Amino acid sequence: MGQLIQKIEKALSTRFARIFSDTFTLAFFILIIIVPILYIFTFVGTEWNSIYTEIFNHPITGDEQWFDLTAALVRSFEIAAIVTVIDILIGLPMALILARKDFRGKKYIDTLIDLPLAVPTAALGFSIYLFWGTQWGIGGLLGLGGGVFSEGPLMIMLVHIVFTYPYIVRNLKEVIMRVDRTYEQAAQSLGAPPFTVFRTITGPLMKEGLVAGAILAFTRSLGETGATMIVFGVTETSPIQIVAWRGLGLFGPAAFLTMILVLVALGLLLMLKLVTRRVGLPIHRVFPRAERKLSHPILRKSRNVIVGLIFLVVVILPSLWTFVYIGINGNAAYSQMFLSSDNKVAAFWLSLMSSLSIAGMVTLICIILGIPMALIMVRRKWGKIKAILDAMIDIPLVIPSAALGFSVFVFWGTLGPFGPGGVFSPGYWLIVLVHVVFCYPYMVRVLIPIVNSIDPGYEEAAMTLGAPSFTVFRTCTWPLLKRGVLAGSIITFTRSLGETGATLVVMGLARTVPVLIVDWVEAQSLAAAAFASVIIIIFSYCLIFILRKITLENE
Amino acid sequence: MPHVVLKNVSKAYGRVKAIDHLNLEIFDGEYLTMLGPSGCGKTTTLRAIAGLIQPDEGEILFDGKNIVDLPANERDIGMVFQHFEIFPFMDIWENVTYSARVKGLPQNKIEELGVNALKLVGMLHRANDYPDELSAPELQKIGIARAIATEAKLLLLDEPLGALDLKIRMEYQHELRKLVKKLGLTAIHVTHDQIEAMNISDRIAIMRKGRIYQVDTPMNLYYKPNSIFVCNFLSNSNFLEGFVEQVQESRSIVRLRGFGPKIIIPTTQWPVRKRLVLAIRKNEVAFEFEPSFEKNLVNATIIKRHFMGSRTIFQLRLENNDLFEAEILTREIPKDLNSQVTLSFDINHVMSFEYPEKLDYELALE
């Protein structure tokens, strides 16, 4: 047995095996992840005439599609821009506090901030909707008959702020922590009050991170579907439009809009990679009087209080409100789930099973193909090619998932390069495929720094001791890598579990839990939707709890 | 003007006491160095004076006023950092005038301060360069210029020469002291380099494990250390155990342990039979050819020899089997291994200490 393993590992360690594995990994990455996304350009190109007619020159509707398309696009951009600005305004002080202050309970706030990250956005959006938009939320507490806000742009923004908040705070916190404190101390010793220190020293040192975080939040908001589905009312955003058009069979306009969104996303990614360095902030001028006033301890204290209050009222309470709702409406939830004629509990059970099975399958594929990719990114010395790969890995991250889903749907389906038969029709396997596309970058991005932190010295030592390279991987690299793989798996799993936009486009008759929640909210079965939300939220929290334990132990 | 007093200042990090009820006075115009092994609390003390950390208890007085609650930016200090911390995204001019600008001084005053400070360190011609175009010694000069341009009379220096090469360091010690004296500043300097401290300071505070062992002039610390630790830290000495055998008019006779040789010490402060540790500096020992009554003479056997260039270190065994080291000019007549020699050293240079509870602890250099 031992000898057999030795033989197999020797065979896997040959130059040929290595080249094969590299080729296979890259081929998978290019053909399964990248090409389907970019195929949309080819599709729009070849089908241009019919798409043009459909959008601009329809015999019945004329250019109404074009009108709708631009209106939704502009709206999406406006919402994303406002959300990003508010995010930075309320996220930056929180990031500063978490990075630079020590206080009791900091650990808990740190965990609380991650909460919205773990929850499927559909469940999150529903919870926020319950909080702001119904009589069981803040409106009821204030004695109003209904909600405080109704569905529409304002509530979309509220939802987007909540689910981008963790991204921006995490990101900025990391960036601030990387800033060398001694520069700040030097500035302080030179007589700069705290606010000036922040603006003239910390600010310039973190500006790249700030811009990167802002772009990321912007793309998140631009691409969100699940939560937006629940609160959009009649104001469609672009991702929702793709889902709607795809549902109506308007593939031409959907493809065109997808292409625009992919282009925008690629542009933003390019900005992220190239332009962030050149952004200027007004750092050279100093405003001693005003800044000394702004540095006053009372102002800083009240800032901290305001940041805490906003966090509580805008982020935490709304995203946990489903639990309150279930507490109040337990009976309704029970009767809707178990006593209604359409047997909701069976539907829920079925969708939960497909959600878990899809997420499990996606995670497995991402592990098997993500590890060699991470190894390539760190260990191979390919120069420019690697830089290009590095940029390409992030492509699925920035593309709105509905657009991504539509592109993949077109590529593998009857409209794609494989002819009228298609390869995958909407359903289980196409969902898996789409989820792999947008989960893969998460896995690789988690693994790369971990592979990076593994001292190649161990592997060199193992090699001088006579181990072939695959044995080196199994005995030296893997033990150091496996915690990272576990962490990456949990992130991949929760991503897949919580995705809505892409799933809506490619699901066919299969249902995942987030889609089910959206369906039930549309059908006004709020109690049932709350039931499904609570279960999936608890499930996600458990996962995130395990994830934190792993990463904390790693530190 | 700046007269700094630390009263019972303590700071703990978790269970480790970084500084423990520290008392220290720094006089106006003085160049004081805090010297000690790493982890002794010297940097913590400096940062407490700067206001970059808040002590757990105690008072820090500037000219009699307790400033412990004042943040660093209101303390009127100039500080030079170990790695200079020249802001990388500002040019040299912006770095040097940073303090004047954030304090909102008028434009002509900003110009004046910047030009004067850069002139003083001879770097005015580099005003428009960025930090990444400068070498470490140049950055160090900018660090000093930036601190001086604050117009503060108290200069705090945290291992300011630590990042420079050894040869340049010697030259800069001299420059730094000259500059401080010329501007009439009070300087508090932190270092772990004994020679730098000796060379640059008016007084040195020797620190260890959060406490000050002794504060005195370099000369006094070297010749009259008040403890085995200070003696060992500042000079390379042999430490020998012995008992007072006889107290005479102006000196005493100590017999080394194990019925070893007699050594005369220049003091009468210890009673007969007192257990002592004697310290004899390795570089004050010579091979004796013409015995003289005014010196201590000890017989020994050479067991090892280390050639160090101009000097040779001999390891010797005394009659009572105690080991002894002597650092002798190589040019003096070479001796073979295992040969018997007579060592001599000045009576007045033998230092004596009460035998401590834990000799190992006193001799540890941390």
Percentage of chain A lying above the pLDDT 70 cut: 96
Mean pLDDT of chain B: 91
Q: What's residue A279's pLDDT? A: 55
| pLDDT reported for residue A198 | 86
Residue from the list A180, A188, A289 with its beta carbon closest to the beta carbon of B104: A289
Query: Is the pLDDT confidence value at A111 over 60?
Result: yes
pLDDT of amino acid A552: 66
Q: Tokens 């689910």 appear where?
A: A163
The 3-state DSSP composition of chain A as helix, strand, coil percent (nearest 5) reads: 80, 0, 20
Are the beta carbons of B29 and B86 closer than 8 angstroms?
no
Looking at residue B156, the DSSP 8-state letter turns out to be: E
Locate tokens 């793989």: which residue? A485
Q: What is the pLDDT of residue B179?
A: 93
Q: Which amino acid is present at A479? A: P
Kindly determine whether residue A190 and residue B52, on different chains, have CB atoms separated by under 8 Å. Answer: no
Place of tokens 């593939």: A251
pLDDT of residue B225: 94
With a cut of 60, say whether residue A555 has pLDDT above it: no
* pLDDT for A203: 85
Instruction: Write out the H or E segment, with its range, that includes residue B235.
Output: none
Region B192-206: mean pLDDT is 94
> Which has the minimum average pLDDT: A376-385, A489-498, B175-184?
A376-385
pLDDT band at residue A276 under the 50/70/90 scheme: low
Q: How far is it, in rounded angstroms, from Cα A368 to Cα A485? A: 10
Return the SS3 of A468.
coil
Give the pair of three-digit tokens for residue A182.
Answer: 């001694």
Per 3-state DSSP, chain B is made up of helix, strand and coil in percentages (nearest 5) of 30, 35, 35
What are the pLDDT digits (tens) for B88-116? 888 999 999 988 888 888 999 999 999 99
Start-to-end CA distance of chain A, whole Å, equals: 37
Give alpha helix (H) positions in chain B: 42-50, 92-96, 98-102, 107-120, 136-148, 166-182, 194-200, 218-223, 228-234, 359-363
Judged by phi (left if over 0) then psi (alpha if -120 to 50, else beta), residue A327 lies in alpha
For residue B58, give both structure tokens: 């105690």
pLDDT higher than threshold 90 for residue B23: yes
Query: Do residue A187 and residue B87 have CB atoms under 8 angstroms apart?
Result: yes
The mean pLDDT of B240-260, rounded to a whole number, is: 93
C-alpha span between A197 and A209 (Å, rounded): 18
A387 burial class (0-12, 13-18, 19+ CB within 10 angstroms)? exposed
- Most confidently predicted of A263-272, A344-353, B206-215: B206-215
Q: List residues in chain B touching A: CB distance below 8 A.
A: 50-52, 71-79, 81, 83, 85, 87, 89-90, 94, 98-99, 101-104, 146-147, 150, 156
Task: Taking residues B208-234, report their average pLDDT.
Answer: 94
Structural domains in chain B plus CATH codes: 4-230 (3.40.50.300), 236-363 (2.40.50.140)
pLDDT at A161: 92
Mean pLDDT: which of A149-153, A194-198, B124-128, B168-172 is highest?
B124-128
Q: Are A190 and B99 in contact (CB < 8 Å)?
A: yes
For residue A343 the two structure tokens come to: 């047997």
Q: What is the pLDDT of residues A345-371, one digit of tens each?
A: 888 888 999 999 999 999 999 999 999
pLDDT surpassing 90 at residue B176 = yes
A278 contact residues in B (CB cutoff 8 A): none
Name the least confident of A12-21, A121-130, A150-159: A12-21
Give Rg (Cα) of chain A.
Answer: 25
Residues of A (142-181) whose Cβ lies below 8 Å from B: 180
Report, as an integer, the average pLDDT of B126-132.
92
Is the Cα dihedral B224, B227, B228, B231 positive or negative?
A: negative
Chain A (183-202) residues lying within 8 Å, Cβ to Cβ, of chain B: 183, 185-194, 196-197, 200-201
DSSP code per residue over B315-329: EEEETTS-EEEEEEE
A55-59, B122-126, B255-259: range with lowest mean pLDDT: A55-59
Q: Per-residue pLDDT for B123 more than 80? A: yes
User: Complex ipTM, two decimals?
Assistant: 0.76
Buried b (16+ CB within 10 A) or exposed e, A54-67: bbeebeeeeeebbe
Instruction: Compare all CA atoms of chain B with the CA of A197 and give the residue at the minimum distance.
Output: B102
Chain B hits for A199, CB-CB cut-off 8 Å, are: none
Closest Cβ–Cβ partner in B52, B94, B103 for A188: B52
The pLDDT tens digits of the residues spanning B279-309 come to 999 999 988 877 666 789 899 999 998 888 8
For tokens 């240079």, name the residue.
B349
| pLDDT at residue A329 in the model | 84
The pLDDT of residue B47 is above 80: yes
Domain ranges of chain A: 34-554
Q: Residue A280's pLDDT is what? A: 54
State residue A275's pLDDT score: 64
Query: What mean pLDDT is predicted for residues B323-348?
Result: 85
Nearest CA in chain B to A203: B89
SS (H, E, C) A90-115: HHHHHHHHHHHCCCCCHHHHHHHHHH
CA distance B346 to B344: 7
Confidence at residue B251, expressed as pLDDT on a 0 to 100 scale: 92
Chain A: residue whose CA lies nearest to B77: A189
Confidence category of residue A283, pLDDT binned at 50, 70, 90: low
Average pLDDT over residues A153-166: 90
Distances (CA, A) of A509 to A100, A350, A392, A503, A518: 50, 12, 32, 11, 15
Distance CA A193, CA A429 (A): 59
Task: Give the Cα separation of A352 and A185 in Å (integer).
Answer: 53
**Segment A515-531 mean pLDDT:** 87
Q: Report yes or no: A501 and A239 within 8 Å, Cβ to Cβ.
A: yes
Q: Could you tell me the sign of the dihedral formed by the alpha carbons of A191, A197, A201, A204, in that order?
A: negative
Class of domain A34-554: mainly alpha
What is the per-residue pLDDT for B334?
A: 67
Is the pLDDT at B258 greater than 60, yes or no? yes
Residue carrying the six token digits 């305001």: A306
- Is A204 an interface residue toward B (CB < 8 Å)? yes
Work out the angle at residue A161's Cα, subtended by the Cα atoms of residues A159 and A166, and round it to the nearest 5 degrees.
115
Q: Which residues contact A228 (CB under 8 A, 6 or more apart)?
A: A125, A156, A159, A160, A237, A239, A240
Residue B308, C-beta contacts closer than 8 angstroms, at least 6 positions apart: B327, B330
* DSSP state for residue A331 in the 8-state scheme: H
At residue B257 the predicted structure's pLDDT band, cuts being 50, 70 and 90, is very high
A152 and B51 Cβ atoms separated by less than 8 Å: no
Nearest to A182 among B71, B74, B83 (CB): B83
Query: What's the CA dihedral at B263, B266, B269, B275 to 10 degrees?
Result: -20
Q: What Å distances lie between residue A184 and A115, A192, A207, A440, CA to CA?
A: 32, 9, 15, 39
The encoded tokens of residue A189 equal: 């010793």
Contact A191 B73 (CB under 8 A): yes
Q: Which residues of B touch A194 (CB under 8 A)?
A: 71, 73
The phi, psi pair for A148, rounded to 5°, reads -80, -45
pLDDT at B110: 92
Interface contact flag, B85 A182, Cβ < 8 Å: yes
What is the three-class DSSP state of A380? coil
The continuous run of DSSP H or E covering B150 comes out as none
Mean pLDDT of chain A: 84
Please name the helix (run of DSSP H) or strand (run of DSSP E) that holds residue B131, with its range, or none.
Answer: none
Q: Concatenated DSSP letters for A40-100?
A: HHHHHHHTHHHHHHHHH-BTTTBTHHHHHHHHHHHHHHHHHHHHHHHHHHHHHHHHHHHHH
pLDDT over 70 for what percent of chain B?
A: 98
Query: Both tokens of residue A260?
Result: 């625009």
Q: What pLDDT does residue A281 have?
A: 53
Rounded mean pLDDT, A290-294: 76
**8 Å CB contact between A150 and A73:** no
Residue with tokens 């200027």: A280
Give, in degrees to the nearest 5, the angle at Cα B119 between B118 and B125: 75
Q: When comparing pLDDT for A266 and A8, which is higher?
A: A266
Segment of A122-136, A219-233, B184-198 carrying the highest mean pLDDT: B184-198
Residue B106 CA, distance from chain mean position: 41
Cβ within 8 Å of residue A405, ≥6 positions away: A434, A501, A502, A503, A504, A505, A506
In this structure, what are the phi and psi dihedrals at residue B30, rounded to the nearest 5 degrees? -90, 150
Report CA Rg, chain B. 25
Q: Does A280 touch chain B (CB under 8 A)?
A: no
Q: Which residue has the higher pLDDT, B1 or B212?
A: B212
Please name the residue ranges forming H helices in A394-523. Answer: 395-398, 401-412, 428-453, 456-464, 469-472, 478-498, 501-506, 513-522
